[in-house]
Chain A
Amino acid sequence: MSTVKKTLRSIPQDRTPLPEVAPEIRVRSFREVAEGYSRDQALHEANRCLGCSKPGCVTGCPVSINIPGFIRRIQEKNFREAYEILTRSTTLPAVCGRVCRQEDQCEGSCTVGRKLAPVAIGNLERWLGDLAIREGWHLERTGARTGRQVAVIGSGPAGLACAADMVRAGCEVTVFEALHEPGGVLKYGIPEFRLPNDVVDAEVENLKRLGVRFECDALIGRLLTIEELKKDMGFEAVFIGTGAGYPSFMGIPGESLNGVLSANEFLTRCNLMKACNFPCTDTPVHTGRRVAVIGAGNTAMDALRVAARLGAEKTYCLYRRSRSESPARLEELRHAEEEGVEFRWLTLPLEILNDGQGSVRGLSCVRTELGEPDASGRRKASTVPGTEHVIEVDMVIYALGTNANPIIGQTSSLKLDARGYIATNERLETSMPGVFAGGDIVTGAATVISAMGAGRRAAGAMKTLFGFRSN
């Protein structure tokens, strides 16, 4: 181990690239695209970290991971300790290492990144998370068992993060999941080539080992209400992390035709129900030969790339703004481009055309141009008259974002905001005492890590409620 102070000149100048499966091979299977560092690559990349005394990366991280701390332990080959530092702040390192927007967060604030490519913090986090799974390392409790009962609703990133913090603090935690497997959007939404289900299962297993109970097939609001959880079931605190899963459509003619799906449906059929293996599995998906996905966020990229893997000959991405306004991560855009997706920027669908048999035959579109920024800060798209045209497709997938699911709002006295999301104060308390909410069900659709951050903040507020000393 070197004791010499690192400088920008002394570290490896080039960022260690993450090995990727070649596009022409990966597009034929659901195998993970980014393969992860080897031990040597991880050590090499770790050596690029300067170990700043005022690290910008930590400030950039929504859950304030001690990044220089865990990277220093990797440099010292003290991997177990690195994992322990990492998991003080995140309980899902193998997940976050894969799906966080590091370029806008930790890596976006990396000192090295001012002159060179930033340290590949996400890749190192993933490497450590994967190593922990392989080695069977798991989380430990930080407090003695208290017997306090906590219910967590939803087993996506917000719920898992909250459950992890509360079980480690000594509480008895039960997670209620509406679907038949835990993981939420990590399971039904994000495809295996980006986040393998095995990784999600391993993180869930880790929580089970700590004593978290998972009740699947349990839709809260219908099977049990929030009030019943508190009054009849004896839960002293409840966290609602149900996400924003309600799909959006545009309201244009032809949306009811066969072959028009929400990205939620398309991805759930493939990722959770394994329609890619039909008829060995029972759920079909019936992918089109020519598929258009409307929207250009990460979910749109996922849908396009799944369609390609299911045998679509042509995949189009339609977005009314341009590439620079796309909300997708650059890496996702690049992967989609490499896999043959044809991007139709500045294109707005007007109508989905009927083949005469009740199915899709095409999409009538118009070109757009961008004007001044609108209220959201993005440039407003307006249509260009006379540029109407038809794109021939037999499947249309909507990836336009999602809204709040109405069930919990309808079946409880919780206060909602004007858009139907759960209203909370800054401590993530809802209008009902002892009931907290966080993640997409409070903020609207956002990211995995911000949901995790919310789950952890709610856990912090629960600990205060229970009178635990903070640690």
Chain B
Amino acid sequence: MHQIKKREDFSDITFSIEVEHPLLAKAAQPGQFVIVRTHQTGERIPLTIADYDREKGTITMVIQAVGKTTREMQAMCRPGAHLAGIAGPLGMPSHIGQARKVVCIGGGLGVAPTYPQLRAHKLNGAYVIGIVGFRSRNLVFWEDRFRAFTDEYLVCTDDGSAGIRGLVTDGLREVISRHPDIDEVIAIGPPVMMKFCSDVTRPFGIRTTVSLNPIMVDGTGMCGGCRVTVAGQMKLGCVDGPDFDGHQVDFDELINRLGRYKEDERLAMERWLRHRDHCRLVGQATGGAS
């Protein structure tokens, strides 16, 4: 059982939780992830480590409440509450090499996991350009953290309410036009975004690292559910990744595999909503005694 120390809500669906786990905080490296279980009959869901504090002994995860389990987490993960289990850190740490100029791109769920990577590159002495994408201004979060560890920070919004109007790929093209000497682009976000970022950098031959999020059960190299095709070879996201060369990843295959349980996810969500509403009604009928 791991206690939730802090929670921050960034929008109606996005929130962060800071959870106590001293050993994990000590071991965590940029690019790694954890598998969380909310309760005994819960599923094992992989979440990227968005931050870790070795002194406080905590790790931070940013969650988008889009499915049954994440909606449930949004409802139950208050400070003082406990998670049934956290396994990790999992996956290979990101390679923080000698790159002198690095672009870190985060979109959607991928914004937060970009943070430990760009911080590591900045502390390593690199010139760091951060590009983050949101739908609109009110969804932007962690601007202060990103600004603290970037030399340039670019926000892209769908509606233009903050930063430039457009997708992160538009921001990336603009950055590449100004910087002919980029050593590495790191893109983390929805598979489609990572695919298009890789397409943008390919003609320039810029090394592009993506962090994949395939469906997995154990996260330890046992189930093989997270297999992805990279340069024609089968790799396991949990053991060989999650970071891979974006120019070599078969994104269409990944996107297809991510849709495997869509129907089951819908069923689980409907059932959960029914239960939740039922509980609320019962609560009201009995006077909602707390």
Contacts and interface: CB of A to CB of B under 8 A. Distances in A.
Interface of A: 178-180, 188, 216-219, 222-224, 245-247, 249, 251, 255-259, 261-262, 264-265, 268-269, 273-274, 277-284, 286, 358, 405-407
B224 A273 contact: no
Contacts of B188: none
A159 B32 CA distance: 27
A40 B229 CA distance: 58
B230 to A, nearest CB: 12
B41 A268 contact: no
Contacts of B41: 274, 277, 280-282
A425 to B, nearest CB: 26
Interface in B63-100: 68-69, 84-90
Contact of A269 (B69, B84, B217, B263): B217
Contacts of A188: 218, 222
Contacts of B44: 180, 273, 283
B268 A222 contact: no
A217 B88 CA distance: 7
Interface stretch (B12-20, B148-156, B251-259): B251-259
B139 interface: no
A459 to B, nearest CB: 25
Given A223-B24, A407-B239, A264 B268 contact: no
A407 B256 contact: no
Contact of B221 (A224, A246, A251, A258): A246
A233 B105 CA distance: 39
B88 A224 contact: no
A180 B222 CA distance: 14
Given A246-B221, A282-B68, A222 B89 contact: yes
12 contacts: A188-B222, A219-B87, A223-B89, A245-B220, A246-B222, A256-B229, A256-B250, A262-B225, A264-B222, A265-B217, A265-B224, A281-B42
B143 interface: no
B179 interface: no
Contacts of B84: 180
B37 interface: yes
B280 interface: no
Given A256-B229, A282-B43, A268 B223 contact: yes
B289 to A, nearest CB: 27
B224 A264 contact: yes
A268 B217 contact: yes
B247 interface: no
B268 A284 contact: yes
A223 B222 contact: no
Contacts of A279: 264, 267-268, 271
Given A223-B23, A246-B221, A247-B222, A282 B69 contact: yes
Interchain residue pairs A-B with the least CB separation, the first 6: A284-B264, A265-B223, A282-B43, A358-B256, A247-B224, A217-B87
A258 B263 CA distance: 13
Contacts of A255: 227, 234
B222 A245 contact: yes
Given A261-B225, A279-B271, A224 B27 contact: yes
A281 B40 CA distance: 9
B224 A262 contact: yes
Nearest to A411: B92
Nearest to A267: B223
B174 to A, nearest CB: 35
Interface of B: 23-24, 27, 32, 37, 41-44, 68-69, 84-90, 217-218, 220-225, 227, 229, 234, 239, 250, 253, 256-257, 259-261, 263-265, 267-268, 271
Given A262-B224, A407-B239, A282 B87 contact: no
Contact of A249 (B68, B220, B224, B259): B224
A219 B221 CA distance: 11
Nearest to B220: A178
A216 B259 CA distance: 30
Contacts of B264: 278-279, 284, 286
A224 B23 contact: yes
Nearest to B37: A180
Nearest to B272: A279
A274 B44 CA distance: 12
A470 to B, nearest CB: 35
B125 to A, nearest CB: 27
Contacts of B267: 279, 284
Given A256-B257, A283-B44, A406 B221 contact: yes
A296 to B, nearest CB: 19
B27 A222 contact: yes
A185 B221 CA distance: 14
Given A258-B257, A279-B268, A245 B43 contact: no
Nearest to B228: A256
B221 A217 contact: no
A249 B222 contact: no
Contacts of A264: 222-224
Nearest to A247: B224
B261 A286 contact: yes
Contact of A258 (B87, B218, B259): B259
A245 to B, nearest CB: 4
Contacts of A262: 223-225
Given A256-B227, A262-B223, A222 B88 contact: yes
B220 A219 contact: yes
B241 to A, nearest CB: 13
B282 to A, nearest CB: 19
A281 B24 CA distance: 27
B223 A282 contact: no
Nearest to A185: B222
